[in-house]
Structure 1
């Protein structure tokens, strides 16, 4: 069985799980797009974006989805079309010990349509899942192609998927290659036949694990801090926007109140002017009346 080292949430271990799908001697790693909801859509691609499986089901359980995905291979990356990732994706990523790739902002209809091209789907849930997976692949496409070149140059093309799986889950390319080299040394028959050499290599392997664990912890810490920083910046933008809107409203209210006062004062002046004129008119009429009485 193929042995693959996984790093996730600051943990590193060698694994040889029998339920991982193997293609020849190589592990088939996957990018899986998921569209959670009442109807769950999923789209499974290999690391070359070859479509392996697409489907959807109403009220699909997480266990059913795990089983469907596991039949195709081992997920290296999960993806969705919204940010933040839904709870179902977070739990699924925790089960498979992989990361979730999310867009910077929720994907729009035009973007999804362009990504899936001429692919046919039964419903929008399947399309959204496929678009999410393809977007995630595009994010890492250059790095995955670089890995293909590097493993070919080293004469270990059969290890490409293992290296890609590690890199997609926050291991640096140099650390992933080093880990593969150590694993190959331990598995070499000539080395295994020499007990002392085997013990030495296992000791080196333990030391390497500790170093990579520390490395993974630091990477996770940096990623967590970056996420927190992004959340704080977004919160600050919302606060600033709220303050600006409140100040704008207050300014508008002051402007409106000033206009109301101005109109009220103008009206009062007009009323006062009319009142004075009417009083003068009345006085003139009274005076004229008195004069006429005197002449009678």
Structure 2
């Protein structure tokens, strides 16, 4: 996403292919959420700048997905290279954010694409992007599939019961870990944004202090000049 007066979005599928993009003037977060929902269920929301804008944080929180942003803000040259086929600069920025995030997961997504499994690969990819390990993602999806087909009626065997409880605990801990990671990412992004705002405020204050100092110096020079003019006028009258 690239928010602003013109808010742009670029949606990639889990193969890194652009499936939708657009740009709207003065789009609210509600409007952006509506647009994204029409495209599909997001695995993450990405920003091209660090710290990510609060608008992007808000949209990610609405979908309860991870927020991706670069270690350093992407340059215009980087975004132009990635999205050279996109004319609109705002949409290109959004595409750059999406591609940067995709590249961070590309190897793991390719691994899932090439593996032998009866599970839904897109769901596996979605969960891995959300922060689950591949093992835990497979375990959770397998359990869900077993419940769906009614295969969870286990025999009254203690060992199987213990294994089931252990797996349930692993899944619960994995889910808690992912939720904690999301919360941590949101807090990091929020703190980074506040630090940036504080930095701008300090710079503005430094500028004000510098201007105040300059004004004070000018006033002193003016007063000296006025005193000198008064002295010259007095001297002239005495002459």
Task: Tell me the TM-score normalised to structure 1 length.
Answer: 0.56
SS of aligned partner of 2:43: strand
Report matched runs for 1:1-296 at 5 Å: 34-117=1-84, 119-121=85-87, 123-150=88-115, 153-156=116-119, 159-189=120-150, 191=151, 194=153, 206-216=168-178, 219=181
Kept in 2: contact 1:186–1:202 (CA 8 A): no
Which blocks of at least 5 consecutive residues in structure 1 are unaligned?
1-33, 239-296
* Distance across 2 between alignment mates of 1:219 and 1:58: 33
Kept in 1: contact 2:46–2:69 (CA 8 A): yes
RMSD: 3.1
* Distance across 1 between alignment mates of 2:98 and 2:135: 26
Aligned in 2, Cα 1:44/1:222: closer, same or farther, shift over 3 Å? closer
More strand, by proportion: 1
SS of aligned partner of 2:32: helix
Deviations 1:91-150 (A, max 9, x none): 000000111111111111111111113x233x2111100111111111111111112123
Distance apart, 1:213 and its partner CA = 3.4
Aligned in 2, Cα 1:147/1:218: closer, same or farther, shift over 3 Å? same
Distance apart, 1:174 and its partner CA = 1.1
SS of aligned partner of 1:111: helix
* Distance across 2 between alignment mates of 1:211 and 1:63: 32
* Distance across 2 between alignment mates of 1:65 and 1:107: 22
Task: Tell me the TM-score normalised to structure 2 length.
Answer: 0.68
* Distance across 1 between alignment mates of 2:166 and 2:145: 13
Which blocks of at least 5 consecutive residues in structure 2 are unaligned?
200-239
Q: Which runs of 4+ in 1 moved over 6 A?
A: 200-205, 221-225
Kept in 1: contact 2:67–2:185 (CA 8 A): no
Q: What is the aligned length?
A: 189
